Copies of this chain bind each other. A is one copy, B any other.
Amino acid sequence: MSKELGIKAKKENLSEWYEEVVLKTQLADYSPVKGCIIYLPYSYAIWNLIKEEFTKIIKDEVSEVYFPLFIPKKILEKEAKHFEGFSPEVAWVTRGGDSDLDEWLAVRPTSETIIYSYISKLIKSYRDLPLRIIQWCNVVRWETKATKPFLRGREFLWHEGHTFHATFEEAEEEMKKRIYQYKDFVERYLAIPVIAGYKSEYEKFAGAHTTTTIETLLPDFKALQCGTSHNLADNFSKVFEIYFQDKDGKNKLVFQTSWGFSTRLIGALVMIHGDDKGLILPPKIAPYQIVIVPIYYNEEEKNLIFQKVKEIENKLKQKYRVISDLREEYTPGYKFNEWEMKGVPIRIEIGMNELKNKTLVIHRRDEMKKEIIKEEELESKINTLIEEIQSNLFNKAKKFLDEHIYVANNFEEFKEKIDKGFVIANHCGDQDCEEKIKELTKATCRVIEFDNNKPFGDEKCVLCGKKAKYKAYFARAY
């Protein structure tokens, strides 16, 4: 492997490996603005695919909108807990042109307040419910912790869904529907296995009645939140006075949900699937699913082979995202390394042998294995491979996740296992007790499963020994 393309070993130093992969594959780069990255074409193409595929799933139910970037301070303050949660990380615009502003404007850290200050104009009667809107946009959170490309930054891209319902129960159902939709999407498209469930009281979204989450495990055994969905109940509709006229003629408060996932998912993709050679991208969201590399030794061969490359490309691009690497200043070996580093799932090699024998060499990135196939089998082979690679990546990641879930019957076991993955333990649900666990172990309560959360064994809280309220997954987290 050429020096330029060399990647540090993933196991030795995950953090350095990660940074090197992000930079060398030109997914992203650091910008002159602290904590803000530049999304280069390769990562932006992944984000566009994620957006496109997720949009297909929800478009018949949810309308796209765009609300202002700025939120006047008075509006952000309205829901007290929400403001308390977000104000430490707000970027404030205090000047416009040459003048101080009368009222400071927050650069949106999330858009609940600006949307809810308006939405009552769209909701008159029960007939207008449920109302579901979504916006894909940038948000800013003034992180003071160390930032890491995609995983934690001051500006990121995301979507936020906001829905409005006639009853608490409908909002509860919506919240769950969306988190299951996220789980399904992240597992099927990004090949990232997640655990879905509730957040604890202490960890829930500022202003929410209930927060649900999907959580995965990264190779350094830290948990990563991959998406959240909140039942806001009438917490916001009360302060923003969002009423509807119900069938019985009475004016009632609406019940709400909000939910979102962000470009953080790109970081998860890199961390979970990558290896010492670089990225490995799941076919469903790979900007290029197939790269074709010609191998030739003279001009005559080149002409013959380029023709075949074009023929194969044209055939495959009806159905797949294909690139032919026809650069003449690089050797096939260099190109192999580069596209392996970039994580393209399938490589097709075509040389004079292949031309003669009407065969093709097919290389799959996930297993780093080559095989020779008959040219006539190409399309069915690619179909199968795309499916296989997608499920292979998921299965590997699922195996890793499953193998790093431990059960702690007491706090000694908890401490012993907490740097090795998720630890399932009984908990009293008490906020102070949860904070104490964090103090002692740096671990937080990540998720409480929906249907499998009854305390086990002695049914006592792993730390304080009081009667447990539930069992939960704990981990250190990003």
Contact surface of A with B, Cβ cutoff 8 Å: 29, 31-33, 36-41, 44-45, 47-48, 63-72, 75, 87-98, 104-105, 107, 114, 117-118, 121-122, 127, 133, 137-138, 140, 142, 144, 155, 157, 329
A31 CA / B90 CA spacing, docked (Å): 20
Residue numbers in B under 8 Å from A144 (CB-CB): 97
Check B38 against A70 for contact (C-beta < 8 Å). no
Residue numbers in B under 8 Å from A32 (CB-CB): 72, 75, 114, 117-118
A65 CA / B75 CA spacing, docked (Å): 32
Check A114 against B31 for contact (C-beta < 8 Å). yes
Residue numbers in B under 8 Å from A70 (CB-CB): 33, 36, 91, 140, 155
A157 CA / B66 CA spacing, docked (Å): 9
Residue numbers in B under 8 Å from A91 (CB-CB): 70, 93, 95-96, 105
Check A97 against B142 for contact (C-beta < 8 Å). yes
Check A142 against B44 for contact (C-beta < 8 Å). no
A446 CA / B453 CA spacing, docked (Å): 68
Check B68 against A36 for contact (C-beta < 8 Å). yes
Check A64 against B38 for contact (C-beta < 8 Å). no
Check A67 against B38 for contact (C-beta < 8 Å). yes
Most central of A63, A70, A105 by chain B CB within 10 Å: A70
A49 CA / B155 CA spacing, docked (Å): 26
Residue numbers in B under 8 Å from A117 (CB-CB): 32
> A23's closest neighbor in chain B, by CB?
B121
Check B107 against A68 for contact (C-beta < 8 Å). no
Check A64 against B93 for contact (C-beta < 8 Å). no
> A90's closest neighbor in chain B, by CB?
B97
Check B97 against A95 for contact (C-beta < 8 Å). no
> A47's closest neighbor in chain B, by CB?
B66
A69 CA / B32 CA spacing, docked (Å): 12
Given contacts A31-B118, A65-B41, A107-B107, contact A88 B97 (CB under 8 A): yes
| Distance from A267 Cβ to chain B, minimum over Cβ atoms (Å) | 15
Given contacts A31-B114, A89-B97, 19 further A-B pairs with CB under 8 A are A31-B118, A32-B114, A33-B68, A36-B69, A39-B67, A44-B65, A45-B63, A47-B66, A66-B138, A66-B157, A69-B140, A70-B91, A70-B140, A87-B97, A91-B96, A91-B105, A92-B94, A95-B104, A138-B138
